[in-house]
Structure formats: C-alpha cells, structure tokens
Amino acid sequence: MLKAVNITKVFKNEGTEVQVLSKISLEIPQGEFLALVGRSGSGKSTLLNVLSTLVRPDGGELLYNGNKVTAMPDKKLNQLRHADFSVIFQFHHLVPYLTALENTLLPFMRSIKPASREMVDKAKQCLERVGLAGKENRLPGSLSGGEQQRVAIARALVKSSRILFADEPTGSLDKATGESIMHLLGELNRDGMTVIMVTHDPEYAQLADRSIHMEDGRLVS
Amino acid sequence: MNILTIPLRNTWRKPTRTLLLLLVFTLGVMAIVALYQVSLVIGDGMEKKLSTYGANILISPGQEKLSVSYGGLHLGDMLYELQPLSEEKTVAAVRSIELKNRISAVAPKLVTMATVNGTPVAVVGVRWEEELLIKSYWATDGAYPEEQNEIVIGRTAALNLGLAQGDTVRLFEQPFRVSAVLLPTGGDDDNVILVDLGRLQAITGQPDGVSFLEVAALCSGCPIDDIVTQIRAGLPGMDIKALSNVVSQRMASIHFVQRLVLSISLVILVTAATMVGLSMLSAVNERKKDIGLLRSLGYSKGRVFFIFCLEAGIIGVLSGILGYFSGFGASFKTLSLLAMAEGARPVFEPGHLLLTCGIIGLVTIIAAAYPAWKGASIEPSQALLAL
C-alpha cells in the first residue's frame, strides 16, 4: 500500500516560489486503479512524480508498505524504482538506440552480467502480450507512438512491478490507440498490478476504480 | 545484453560525431606515437653523431704525483712511476665491459716529442679509423694517410715548421710525407704531428705502448658513471675520468629533443582530451531524457557515471589502437623525409601498444569524468522536465 501524508512541494523559479502541492494526503491500496484528474497545472503530474519517488517532496511523508520512502537513502530508492515501481510517460520515452527488446530488458541491463535467457524469453512474452510479437528488434524510431507506449508497458510487465505510474499515457496517441492502451492498463490491473494514472480525459478516468480531482495543488474530491 | 550494450550502441548512434571524435583522437595519438618513435630513432642517431664530436671518457696510466719544493723554492709537481699502457689489453678491457654496446669508439694515443729542423714538436701516434670516429669535425687540406710513412700536421705546427701538404719531412731520422694539413681546430691538434700509432710504437721502441686512450660512449640508455665504473673494474690502477661537461652537453641535446617531444605530446593530448570532454558535456545535455529514464528504472548515479565514462573509454581505446599503428607507420615516412634515421628503424613493441591504449583510454575517461559526474548527478525530476 502506498500512503501519502501531508505532502507539499514548492518549485522555485527566478526567486518566485510556487506551491505545487499543498498538504496532500491519500492512501492507495494494492491492486487499485486510481486516476488523478485535473486541469493543466493542477499538480497531478507532480503528485505522480512524488508518489513514484522521482521527485522528493519538501514536506510530508510517503510510505510504501509501511516504510518511509521519504527517508530512504538513494540505494534503497534505486532498488524500489528497479523492483516495485514502473513509470510510463506521455511521450512514451524509450532509449532511441536500443531495440524494443533491449528497451524492455533495460531494468535488467544494470550490470556487466548479461540478462539471463529466462529474462530474455520473458521480455519476448511481454512484448507478445502487448501486441508487439515480431517487432522485438525494431528501434523505437520505426515504431508508432502506440507501439512505443506498449514497449514501455512491456517493460513494466517484465519487471513484475507492483505499481505502474502512468503520466497521461494516451496524451499523444490517437483515439483508437489510446483506447487499446487503456484496455491494456485495465488488463494489467485485473492481474493485480496497482495502476496510478494521470489523465485529463474524463472518459478514461471512468475506467479507473477511483478518480481523484486536483485543483491548485489540492485534492478536491 | 548488459550495461555495456548502452554505451556501445550509443557510440554508433551518431556515427558522424563518433567518427569525427575518433578521428581527432586518433590523429592526436598518431602524432604522439610518430613523434615518440621519431624521437627515439633520431635521439639514438643524434647521440651517435654527437659522439663523433669528441670523447667523453679518458683513460690514462695511474700517476703518483709529488709536489717538490726546497729551500722555499717551489719546483712544481713531479710525476713518477708513470708506466705506458698496453694498447691491446686496455682496448680489449674497454671493449669487453657489460655495456660494451654503448662504446662507439676507443682511440688510443702515444705522445712523444721530436725535433724537426731543430724545432721541437709533439708527435701523436693514432689509429686513424678510431680517431676519425671521434674527430669527424676535422677538415684537412689533403687526404688522410693511407701508408705508415704518411703524416697529418696541425695548422700551427705546419706554419712553425714551414711545412705544407705533399712535403717530405725527416722525423726520428726517417722520411715521412705530409699527406694533409689540418685546418684550424682551435684545440691541441693544431700544434702536433699525427702519425700512425703502429709506426710510432716501432720507432720509439714501445710496441703496444700508448700514453692514453679516448673513449666515446653513447649515454642515452645508461649513465656515464656506470660505464666508467665498469671500465675501472676491468682496468684497476688506471686513471679513468668521465668528461662530465662533454657528457652533460651531449645529454642536454638528447634531453632537449625528448622534452620537446613530451611538451608537444602533452599539448596534443590535452587538446584531444578537451575535445572529448566537450563532446561528453554536450552528450550529457542531449541525453538528459535517457538519464531520467535510467534513473527512473533504478540505475544508480554510479551506473550512469560508468556508462558515460565507458563511452569515452571506448573512443580512447579505439583511438589508441588506430593511432598507434598509424603513428608507427607515419614514423617511417617522417624519418625517410627527414633523412635522419641513420639506418635505424622504429621497433614495434606489443607492450607499447598496450601501454598506449591504456594511457589514452585513461585520459579519455578522465576527460569525461566531470561531464559524466554532472550527468549522473542530475536528479530524475530535473531530467524528467526534459520529457
């Protein structure tokens, strides 16, 4: 379970302080599909980044399975990002000079020891599951936006992540592709993965178990 | 697929940039290797040439000196028990020392006095072949002797005795032909008559006897003191002196060449390293997204640092290999253009290749260290702003 308690975040820009998150508290149980909705600039992406440990909050506490994430040293944070958390971005960011298969296996390419045969097979299965069978050796540049987003999802799958953070995963995709990605996220959630998704599309937010609305860095409903 | 896949793939992601960087560094390494090889060969050749401008070790009989004064009148220093040296034994002893390959010439001399037309003059017996090795700066009016009854006379002595090239002169009551007159040298040679050593030994009744020997030693690979110590061990009781000023002047010339090469190499290396550093700095800025992604996947700062350093290291090692071979090849061409090889050739040594690759790889990694650390220190949140 992921729990945020009185999370605050302030951005400084040319001497001006902007309060992006104001005392946000929420609990996300394992297996939930949560949608963070709100207008642009409401602070939903910042909250997602804080929850996924990519941004350190200025105040408050973040707890994962009872452990204080905000007090964790870098080494443990890295381990958490490696093992339990996965993030997919609006612009489905992949390493452009690695193939789809290598991008999927990226979490397991952190050392000199090569990724095991089993892991390579699992990565291929995950690519197959997201509909990319036969495209393992393609570079991101030769894949469509939807296919690239699927590679990012396959990467979360191969890690067996417990929580998938998705920042506007359909934001740069056409409607049909966006729907197929949402379908895939729903499928992963039904398999037990917690999904926390930022979206400004109410239609996609309805697919989640719960929607949280944000305005000016606060939860409003 | 492991962490090496990332830098290896990225290296060829922008082939033009990688090839340009590789070219710059390879040219740098090539220049350094070529300079080094050329300096080795030229240094060796230069030392051989320099050794022809005089000896640097003097071997003379052991002397006992007695300062004589009587009744307040100083009579000067008197030498006693002065024994001539054996030419055969002394030369053999010098030629058999451990560092014998550093000996380029051993020139024995027998010095005596004679009278020509009532004028006293010093006569020096020499072995022409050896003598000319260390006196290549001599210039003569005439040719060097080919017969034992031919002599060379110093310019001042010739003027004093009224002799010219082609004249015949009676020396030790025997006829000799002046085959050449030395052009002024500014040294002792201007005042003497130079005769074949064997002939002089026979005339003076000192077969195998010599007064002293001059030795020319090559010193770039060993200190002159070592050579002197080894000669001294083979010739106990003899007076062996290193002409340190000659050696130091000679070594200064060699060291100048070596320092020049080192300075130029350092400038080239620093320039090439700066290029790598700048290139890595721009790569870090370009790849903030990748850094953010890797950090979001749990890559530590150390691993990101390693990836960037490895990229630079790959360029460095490749440049080291290519630069070494091209520099080695270029050294042949340079030496032939300069016509200074004196028959010597650069020698390929696998150890040098490994050392070059290691040093260049290390230099590129050091050059990339700051940009790599800068990249690794970017917080994922900062990198994500680029997304």
ipTM, two decimals, is 0.85
The pair of three-digit structure tokens given for residue B211, joined into one six-digit string: 């007064």
> Given B3, B294, B380, which is nearest A111 (Cβ)?
B3
Q: How far apart are the first and last CA of chain A?
A: 20
Torsions phi, psi of B134, nearest 5? -100, -5
Contact A54 B296 (CB under 8 A): yes
Chain A closest CA to B366's CA: distance in Å? Answer: 21
Residue in A74, A98, A106 nearest the CB of B297: A106
Determine whether the interchain pair B298/A79 forms a contact, defined as Cβ–Cβ distance below 8 Å: yes
Could you tell me if residue B69 is inside a domain? no
Last residue of a domain, one of B242, B269, B285: B242
* Two structure tokens written together for A165: 């953070």
Same domain as B235, residue B95: yes
Q: Is A120 an 8 Å CB contact of chain B?
A: yes
Interface probe, candidates A69, A99, A109, A165, chain B, greatest B C-beta count within 10 A: A109
Residue B260 within any structural domain of the chain: yes
Q: In this structure, is residue B90 part of a structural domain?
A: yes
Is residue B154 situated within a structural domain? yes
Domain that holds residue B310: 5-48+252-384
CB neighbourhood size of A65 (10 A): 11
Verify that B194 and B91 share a domain, yes or no: yes
Long-range contacts of A126-135 (CB under 8 A, 24+ apart): A126/A154, A126/A155, A126/A157, A126/A158, A127/A100, A127/A101, A127/A151, A127/A154, A129/A154, A129/A157, A130/A154, A130/A157, A130/A184, A131/A180, A132/A100, A135/A100
| B299 and B357 assigned to the same domain | yes
Shortest Cα distance, chain A CAs vs residue B343, angstroms: 49
- The B-side interface with A (CB below 8 A) comprises 1-6, 9-10, 12-13, 289-290, 292-301, 303, 379-381, 384, 387
The closest CB to that of B297, out of A49, A82, A111, belongs to A82
User: Which residues on A lie below 8 Å from B9 (Cβ)?
Assistant: 97-98, 102
Angstrom distances, CA of residue A160 to CA of A120, A126, A183: 14, 10, 18
The three-state DSSP-derived secondary structure of B148-160 is: CCEEEECHHHHHH
* Interface mutation vs chain A, best among B18, B296, B306, most A CBs within 10 Å: B296
Domains of chain A: 29-55+74-219 (3.40.50.300)
The pLDDT score that the predictor gives to residue B101 is: 82
Q: What is the structure's pLDDT at B226?
A: 83
Partner B contacted by A169 (CB < 8 A) = no
Chain A residues within 8 A of B1 when measuring between CB atoms: 101-102, 105, 108-109, 114-115, 120
> In this structure, are B266 and B209 located in the same domain?
no
* CB within 8 Å: B296 and A87: yes
Q: Clarify whether residues B130 and B229 are in a common domain.
A: yes
Q: How many domains does chain B have?
A: 2
Q: Quick one: B205 and B60 in the same domain?
A: yes
Answer yes or no: are the C-beta atoms of B8 and A98 closer than 8 Å.
Answer: no
Q: Low-confidence residues of chain B, pLDDT below 70?
A: 45-55, 63-66, 68, 70-71, 75-82, 219-223, 244-251, 339-344, 384-387
- Cα separation, A159 vs A167, in Å, equals 18
In terms of CA atoms, which chain B residue is nearest residue A99? Answer: B9
Q: pLDDT tens across B3-18, in order?
A: 888 888 888 888 888 8
B67 and B77 Cβ atoms separated by less than 8 Å: yes
B202 with B259, same domain: the answer is: no
| Within a domain: B73 | no
Q: Which of A34, A46, A30 is nearest to A197 (CA)?
A: A34
Q: Is A117 on the interface with B (CB under 8 A)?
A: no
β-pair type (A16-28, A33-38): unpaired
A54 and B384: CB-CB below 8 Å? yes
Residue A37: which of A45, A25, A28, A29 has the closest Cα? Answer: A45
Residues B321 and B280 in one domain: yes
Same domain, B42 and B145: no
Last residue of a domain, one of B242, B262, B286: B242
CB of B1 closer than 8 Å to CB of B301: no
Residue of A20, A80, A85, A93 best to disrupt the B interface, most CBs of B under 10 A = A93
Q: Which residues contact B43 (CB under 8 A, 6 or more apart)?
A: B220, B254, B257, B258
Contact B6 A98 (CB under 8 A): yes
Residues B316 and B204 in one domain: no
- Same domain (yes/no): B220, B264: no
A109 vs B296: CB contact, 8 Å cut-off?
no
Asked if B303 lies within 8 A of A113 by C-beta distance, the reply is no
What does the pLDDT look like over B278-317, one tens digit per residue?
888 888 788 888 888 888 888 888 898 998 888 888 888 9
Q: Give the gap in angstroms from C-alpha A172 to the nearest C-alpha of chain B.
A: 13
pLDDT (0 to 100) of residue B79: 59
* B257 in the same domain as B131: no
Q: Pick the residue from chain A with its C-alpha nearest to B290.
A: A95
For residue range B134-183, what is the model confidence (pLDDT) as tens digits? 887 889 999 999 998 999 999 999 999 999 999 999 988 899 999 999 99
Task: Give the pLDDT of chain A (221 residues) as one tens digit per residue.
Answer: 899 999 999 988 778 888 899 999 999 999 999 999 998 888 998 999 999 998 889 999 999 998 999 888 888 988 898 889 988 887 778 888 899 999 999 988 888 888 889 999 989 988 988 888 899 999 999 998 888 888 988 888 888 889 999 988 888 778 888 888 888 889 889 989 999 999 988 888 988 999 999 998 898 87
Closest residue on chain B to A46 (Cα): B381
A93·B387 Cβ contact <8 A: yes
Residues in B closer than 8 angstroms to A96, CB to CB, are: 13
Choose the closest CB to B381 out of A55, A90, A110: A55
Domain closes at, from B193, B217, B242: B242
